[in-house]
């Protein structure tokens, strides 16, 4: 899956678009050598100007609509993301205004070409053409704000993170410095691709791994699932919603060594919040940095988790301890689900 907004064209602002169209029309008119009477020549030349202006503008605007995916056709994850990045309603309205401008200019073109064909006075013909120019300029000025909005939106959208929506996705959560990116690197054996996300200052880390001929995607969203809910703003809350559309499983990381700077009580508190927030998700909980952590603290967290019916896994992301077992647990949870999906699709195809 690619970024659905990758193909969005550069969007000219109102003045740029008007200038471009008028300049093209002048160029076409000056290269044009009509024959016939004075009136006929005037008609032909002005009709050419009108058609050129209309074509240039409509082509430009049409390209925006053709190369921008319809919001409702996008997967839910991208719809949420669109809301976070640019406000879905505004975006939709801006596109609708572009559509309106295309239609209006087409109507004006036909109307003025007809008027010119009926006129027998070269001065009147020139005046009609100027009037057409004025009306076109005012249509474009009417949508100036929308063009500006789309222009800015495009800059944001074309850099949207490329996340493969077809792959089962594992989301990593836990306080800062507990070892999230170290674990991601270890699990995926890859230098994580960092895509810039506007709602995290650090970008998002994405990596993949393959096991038993199946690919999995692991993402880490610094700044998102590492703080209490009360500290998150609206945008971040929405981003979390987007994650819910995307993820299949959460790997929650504790750092019993407390080297991350958060006491284990605080870590348990954050865990409870995230566990509740993602209630419908399967969780795998790991205790990281066991190479340096205190046995007593490890036990304390283990007891806390067992009281919730969770059996945590001890690992060291840095030393590579427990990573294979972690992968096995991931696969055990995700694979049957994916197989069930594949199976039901096969059945539908087979029928
Ligand atoms: N001793 C030890 N150190 C580890 C282990 N895993 C991670 N670290 C260290 O812990 C520190 C933080 O690790 P990161 O992977 O950057 O943590 P993070 O959770 O991604 O941090 P943020 O991106 O800031 O949220 C780094 O200095 C790592 O080297 C481990 O298993 N053992």
- Predicted TM-score (pTM) of the model is 0.66
pLDDT at 193: 54
> Which residues are registered as beta bridge partners of 214?
211
Our mutation pick for probing the ligand 1 site, out of 176, 179, 227, counting the most ligand atoms within 8 A of Cβ, is 179
Task: Return the residue whose CA atom lies nearest to atom 2 of ligand 1.
Answer: 289
Query: Which of ligand 1's atoms lies nearest the C-alpha of 226?
Result: 25
With the most atoms of ligand 1 within 8 angstroms of its CB, the residue from 171, 176, 177 to mutate is 177
Q: Residue 127: which residues within 8 A CB-CB, separation 6 or more?
A: none
Note the pLDDT of residue 295. Answer: 96
Q: Are 242 and 82 in contact (CB under 8 A)?
A: no
Q: What's the chain's Rg over C-alpha atoms?
A: 30
- Distance in angstroms (rounded) separating the CA atoms of residues 61 and 99: 8
Give the model's pLDDT for residue 227: 76
Q: Is the CB of 318 under 6 A from ligand 1?
A: yes
pLDDT profile of the chain (351 residues), mean per 10: 83 98 97 94 97 98 94 80 78 96 98 97 97 98 96 82 79 90 84 52 72 84 73 72 83 96 94 90 96 96 96 96 94 83 64 43
- What's the pLDDT at 14? 98
Token code pair at residue 45: 């030349």
Please report the pLDDT score of residue 228 as a whole number. Answer: 78
Q: Provide the pLDDT for residue 350.
A: 46
For residues 91 and 87, what is the distance between their CA atoms, to the nearest angstrom?
Answer: 6
pLDDT of residue 191: 61
Domains and CATH numbers, the chain: 14-157 (1.20.120.1190), 169-350 (3.40.50.300)
Please report the pLDDT score of residue 351 as a whole number.
Answer: 43
């Amino acid at each position: 899956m690619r970024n659905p907004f990758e193909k969005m064209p550069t969007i000219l602002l109102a003045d740029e678009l008007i200038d471009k169209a008028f300049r093209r029309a002048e160029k076409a008119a000056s290269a044009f050598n009509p024959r016939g009477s004075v009136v006929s020549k005037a008609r032909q030349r002005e009709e050419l100007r009108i058609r050129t202006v209309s074509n240039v503008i409509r082509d430009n605007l049409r390209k925006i609509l053709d190369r921008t995916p319809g919001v409702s056709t996008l997967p839910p994850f991208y719809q949420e993301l669109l809301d976070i990045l640019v406000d879905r309603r505004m975006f939709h309205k801006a596109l609708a205004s572009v559509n309106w401008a295309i239609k209006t200019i087409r109507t004006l073109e036909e109307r003025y070409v007809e008027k010119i064909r009926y006129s027998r006075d070269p001065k009147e013909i020139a005046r009609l053409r100027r009037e057409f120019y004025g009306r076109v300029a005012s249509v474009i000025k009417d949508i100036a704000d929308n063009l500006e909005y789309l222009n800015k939106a495009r800059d944001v959208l074309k850099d949207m993170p490329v996340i493969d929506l077809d792959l089962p996705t594992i989301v990593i959560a836990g306080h800062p410095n507990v070892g999230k990116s170290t674990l991601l690197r270890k699990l995926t054996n890859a230098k994580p691709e960092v895509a810039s996300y506007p709602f995290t200052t650090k970008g998002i880390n994405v990596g993949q791994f393959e096991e038993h001929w199946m690919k999995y995607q692991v993402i880490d969203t610094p700044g998102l699932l590492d703080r209490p809910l009360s500290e998150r703003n609206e945008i971040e809350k929405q981003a979390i919603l987007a994650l819910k559309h995307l993820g299949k499983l959460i790997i929650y990381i504790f750092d019993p060594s407390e080297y991350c700077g958060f006491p284990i009580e605080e870590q348990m508190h954050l865990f409870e919040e995230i566990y509740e927030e993602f209630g419908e998700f399967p969780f795998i909980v790991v205790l990281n940095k066991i190479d340096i952590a205190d046995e007593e603290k490890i036990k304390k967290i283990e007891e806390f988790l067992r009281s919730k019916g969770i059996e945590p896994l001890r690992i060291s992301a840095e030393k590579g301890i427990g990573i294979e077992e972690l992968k096995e647990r991931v696969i055990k949870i995700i694979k049957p689900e994916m197989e069930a999906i594949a199976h039901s699709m096969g059945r539908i195809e087979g029928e």
